[in-house]
Amino acid sequence: MLDNNSSIITKTAEGVMNNMQYSLKELRARKNWTQKETAARLGVSVQTYNAWEKDVSRVAVGKVIAMADLFGVKLSEIKIY
């Protein structure tokens, strides 16, 4: 059972984590890239990238790592649903 202090710390940590996450669309917009350009840089089709951005399809772990490198962010900053 968590005491009150542990619960507060957990809520604070979760709040900080959520504030630091960016959607794929936000990360792409920072670079001023189209979906087509982003897909090409990741080695996937535009349809695949579009599905990831709209959360219609799950992203493989290897591609999330590639995205972090491509966008210049930490893995924890990418908002994958």
DSSP 3-54: -HHHHHHHHHHHHHHHHT-B-HHHHHHHHT--HHHHHHHHTS-HHHHHHHHT
Q: So what's the pLDDT on residue 80?
A: 82
| Cβ pair 78, 27 in contact under 8 A | yes
**CATH code where residue 26 lies:** 1.10.260.40
Q: Could you tell me what percent of the chain has a pLDDT over 70?
A: 75
Q: Give per-residue pLDDT as tens, 23-44.
A: 999 999 999 999 999 999 999 9
Collapsed DSSP state (helix, strand, coil) of residue 71: helix
Is the C-alpha dihedral spanning 27, 29, 35, 38 positive or negative?
A: negative
CB distance 68 to 12 below 8 Å: no
pLDDT tens track for 15-27: 444 457 899 999 9
Domain, as residue range, for 27: 22-77
Please indicate, yes or no, if residue 35 is contained in any of the structural domains: yes
> The whole model's pTM is what?
0.72
Is the pLDDT score of 54 beyond 70?
yes
